[in-house]
Amino acid sequence: MEYRIEKDTMGEMKVPADRYWAAQTQRSYQNFRIGDEVMPREITRAFGILKKAAALANYNLGKLPEEKKNAIAAACDEVISGSLNGHFPLVVWQTGSGTQSNMNANEVIANRGNEIAGKKLLHPNDDINKSQSSNDTFPTAMHIAAVVAIEDNLFPAMDTLIATLKRLEAENEGIVKSGRTHLQDAVPIAFSQEISGWRNMIEKTKAQLALALEGLKELALGGTAVGTGLNAPKGFAEEVAAQVSALTGKKFVTAENKYHALTSKDELVFAHGALKALACNLMKIANDVRWLASGPRDGLGEIFIPENEPGSSIMPGKVNPTQCESMTMVAVQVMANDVAVGVGASQGNFELNVFMPVIIYNFLQSVRLLADGIRSFESNCVTGIKANKEKMHHNLYNSLMLVTALNPYIGYENAAKTAKKAYKENISLKEACVELGFLTAEKFDEVFRPEEMAYPQK
């Protein structure tokens, strides 16, 4: 491998000749050989956005010449496109402020910008990092990456699942089945009603995430080192937020209190709480689906789900609810990530939080896993759910909890006696009720209508 010599304030470093990074990135690359979790590419892209926005803001405020602004913008466009991802090698397990990833971006943009300009034009600190500090750029990159990931990746996946569940509601309207509470038989419910509960879980958590986005759209940029804005020109914070908004098509604003923006990560904790809520709901939905599909002969068997892969290497013909299992594992990971995000956010000492890389790594992994998991679950399982009407009808009429319909006519205690007699003697509710003398056979038939129990208000 060929090398070139790069210098920083600590001296010279050998850097691979074909890489745009320089001495500070190389030091981090060599000093933190921990794991293989590279800084998320969403953060790399966010740095391209904020560095371009900063250059445009500095230019508009008379702090950066047009030639430098153009070279920086051109290099940033390549960072944003992902074509320079191979020049961002640093792992998550580095300085807790993300300083080295900020310098990685500064060095790559400077060297690529100089190549574009055809001369030594840009300096990583003096030009690319102008009016900035790692302490306000990294939290800004975190917020940009989080907002883009949620709005552009997770929300579309959620919307597709919501639409599929709405279709399933309409298709299964009027099909009544046995409800269940405590894993025990309960009163009837329409299958469409059960599906509507699943749908609303996704809708509710989307609304919670939308609320959390308000805080994530506040940017720390302009606070520089400790929140005072030292070395940033007046109006820079507002101008750079406007430029980020223009570049992303999303409405970002400067954080009202930069001291809070640098040291607190509560907006990310709040947003990840909504991600955890979504994970909890998806866990419930996936578990419902696999319980309802259990069998095919010795389980509930009330729905059919797509058969995607052989389920066993030893049992021929076995098919498992693999998409449900995948979705629930994603949910478990997101719940675990919430612990890391929360603990990391609690470590804001004085004017800076120094757990930012691990916070955003877990946050973005949660968004990515949820979006991918939902798409897979929807397209490979949910969209193909079919009601097993015969089994639903059998289970409905075999349920002892239909006795609840008799409460207004024979009272709670007599209804309980009826259910217990029917269960003990393995006879029907009608037979038990008539034998106990609570109702005549004719009156029982008149008041006992299981399907209507799912629609009591009609």
Please identify every residue annotated as catalytic: 182, 312
Alpha-carbon span 248 to 125, nearest angstrom: 25
Q: How far apart are CA 91 and CA 427, in angstroms?
A: 67
The per-residue DSSP string of 426-448 comes to: T--HHHHHHHTTSS-HHHHHHH-
Spatial separation of the C-alpha atoms in residues 150 and 374, rounded to whole Å? 13
Helix axes 191-216, 266-292, angle to 10 degrees: 170
**Whole-number Å distance between alpha carbons of 144 and 70:** 22
What is the torsion angle, in degrees rounded to the nearest 10, for the CA atoms of residue 337, residue 152, residue 259 and residue 124?
Answer: 100
48 and 144 Cβ atoms separated by less than 8 Å: no
Residues 340 and 450: their CA atoms lie apart, in Å, by: 49
Nearest by Cα to 150 from 324, 313, 336, 368: 368
Closest CA to 402 of 443, 440, 430: 430
Specify the residue for token string 């030594």: 120
Distance from the first to the final alpha carbon of the chain: 78
Q: How far apart, in Å, are the Cα atoms of 192 and each of 27, 49, 118, 337? A: 59, 45, 65, 33
Which contiguous run of DSSP H or E holds residue 373? helix 356-380
User: What's the CA gap between 72 and 86, in Å, rounded?
Assistant: 18
